[in-house]
Chain A
Amino acid sequence: MKRPVIGPWITIILGAIYFLVPLVATFEFSLRMKRGEYSFEAYRVVFGDPNFQASFTYSALIAVAAIIVGVLIVVPTAYIVQLKLPRLRPLVEFITLLPLVIPAIVLVFGYIRMYNSSSWIPLTNSARGTDFLLTCAYVTLALPYMYRAVDTGLRAIDIRTLTEAAQSLGSSWPRILFQVILPNVRVAVLSGAFLTFAIVIGEFTMASLLNRPAFGPYLQLVGANRAYEPAALAIIAFIITWACMGLIQLFGGGRRNDTRR
């Protein structure tokens, strides 16, 4: 007979308490908007708030834009590095890690300096220009995750032989990239995309300093001025993030086994 091991269980329980108690407390608090009874009143108010809808839509759109731009940059880069320039890999990996090292605030001040209204490229002059800048900022922010996901995905397939097979069938580079490589790293790209989405939805610093009506600043605004709604928002944001994680699991875990050795 094995003696039950209690050490690890204690750790797990302590950890669960550490994570779950605030969550449960927040949730419980978010239900108490109506005096004396539990209700989803706070959620109703939040969902009914036009600013919630507008800011969430705005952030979602920027996230989608960031995902598209990110994929268009990262997939060809990772592909070329793996296929043609394997010696550059450490350098590229280092560059893609930089956003984790450089604080967002430094990045955004850099942007504002570079692209302010009196600069060569006055992007911050117009709302569209600033949206573009924000998109680029989010692409940068999500780069470490996107690159790693795609790189791992590419490593799982034999890109060299697939590329050569397509080439010998007369295929051009764009066709190889979009019809052969991209569909085969779809899962990796999706997990990178959901991570990007999760990051962008909650991001505050950049959106706030670039003064765009994003979800992050809205959360902060509500949080500073209301009591029950921030709790409801926190729970909503939490659910969105976990839904993204769940989708990554769904797409990543449900993948069939690769038959190639």
Chain B
Amino acid sequence: MAFLTLEKITKTFGNQTTIHGIDLAVERGEFVSFLGPSGCGKTTTLRMIAGFETPTSGTIKIDGKDVTDLRPNQRNIGMVFQAYALFPNMTVADNIAFGLKVAKKSSAEIAARVKEMLALIKLPDVGNRFPYQLSGGQQQRVALARALAIQPKILLLDEPLSALDAKIRIALRDEIRAVQRSLGITTIYVTHDQEEALSMSDRICVMNEGRIEQLGTPFEIYNNPKTRFVATFVGTLNVLNGTMVDTATGRIAIDGQEVVATRGANGASTGDSLAVALRPEALSIGETEPGRNGLKGVIEEVHFLGPVVRIRVRFGDNVVSLDTFNRPHSAPPVRGEPVNVHFGHEDLLVLDRPAI
């Protein structure tokens, strides 16, 4: 049985429903990210798990126990906030010890645990400092130690890295994941940064407008997006509009040219207009090899980005962008030049809803 389950969770603020029936099962020790655009309800869902908000309906279970009506201080959940939220009046050691003191642990035990936690976050010498004497990244690591010191059942992190600058963000990302692995703690990680979600998670829960769009491993989410939303939100993706010519063979017409799709075409019937997705990295320029799809178009834009050259190609109404490596000894493509773009049959993904 799953360690953390959300069953038909809804949340209404006033007369506005922000969470529309979420079902989720997280295994023990799993690292699950909530990924979605601003306002999609990630924080609200997380706060319901923590107990800061009460679901309008539905149940939350942790380790088989219904906690829906438990107060936050009875749930034994570790929480890390975007704004660090260290207690400014306490030293780092006192911050980490806070939850242990609340739990009335002996002072010897507290001291040992604080030391252990400081070692875990690789800041063994900052125990006597105050939060304002630490950098943002260090403060967030202390906040992580404070949350973990009480040996919580679940660790919740709400965009813990978004107040930090890019370099520290990437370092801390790995560190959080390493700590999480070493403790084997069940973790929910909220982010709107897809790279963060893809690189850290066991599974990603892509959310949109208070619903779960797709739940799956980073590989599944990236390579087999189930909905148009997931396809466009995760990664950069080209979406093209076309018409189904023949369902049996998966032939699709795009701007008067025909291509073959082998994935996701089963739902549509002949004559349907539909949307297909193509990852930029699946596209190449040159003559179409046998057994692949080819589309002829015109180069509309060329962006030289250093190691890569990003090219936009137009076929009638549809546009795709693709990246080619910079080759120092040959000139980059030129605007207005006709090109042939080719890709595999399996690279073409038919999305469930036609493009608007």
Report A's interface with B, CB cutoff 8 A: 157-158, 161-162, 164-172, 175, 179-180, 183-184, 186, 256-261
Contact = CB atoms under 8 A, between A and B. Distances in A.
B73 A168 contact: yes
A167 B163 CA distance: 23
B81 interface: yes
A259 to B, nearest CB: 4
B73 A172 contact: yes
Interface stretch (B18-26, B97-105, B279-287): B97-105
B98 A168 contact: no
B160 interface: no
B334 interface: no
Given A161-B81, A259-B131, A166 B98 contact: yes
Given A165-B143, A170-B102, A179-B98, 4 more contacts: A164-B85, A165-B86, A167-B73, A171-B102
A106 B86 CA distance: 47
13 contacts: A158-B85, A165-B143, A167-B52, A168-B77, A169-B146, A170-B99, A171-B102, A172-B73, A259-B88, A260-B83, A260-B84, A261-B83, A261-B163
B101 to A, nearest CB: 9
Contacts of B78: 168
B85 A161 contact: yes
Contacts of B89: 180, 183-184, 186
B88 A157 contact: yes
Nearest to A167: B72
Contacts of B72: 164, 167-168
B147 interface: yes
Contacts of A183: 89
Sorted nearest first, the 4 A-B pairs with minimum C-beta distance are A169-B99, A259-B132, A183-B89, A168-B79
Contacts of A167: 51-52, 71-73
A169 B150 contact: yes
Contacts of A186: 89
A261 B77 CA distance: 25
B92 interface: no
A162 B88 CA distance: 9
A170 B76 CA distance: 7
A184 B83 CA distance: 16
B229 interface: no
B92 to A, nearest CB: 13
A171 B75 CA distance: 11
B83 A158 contact: yes
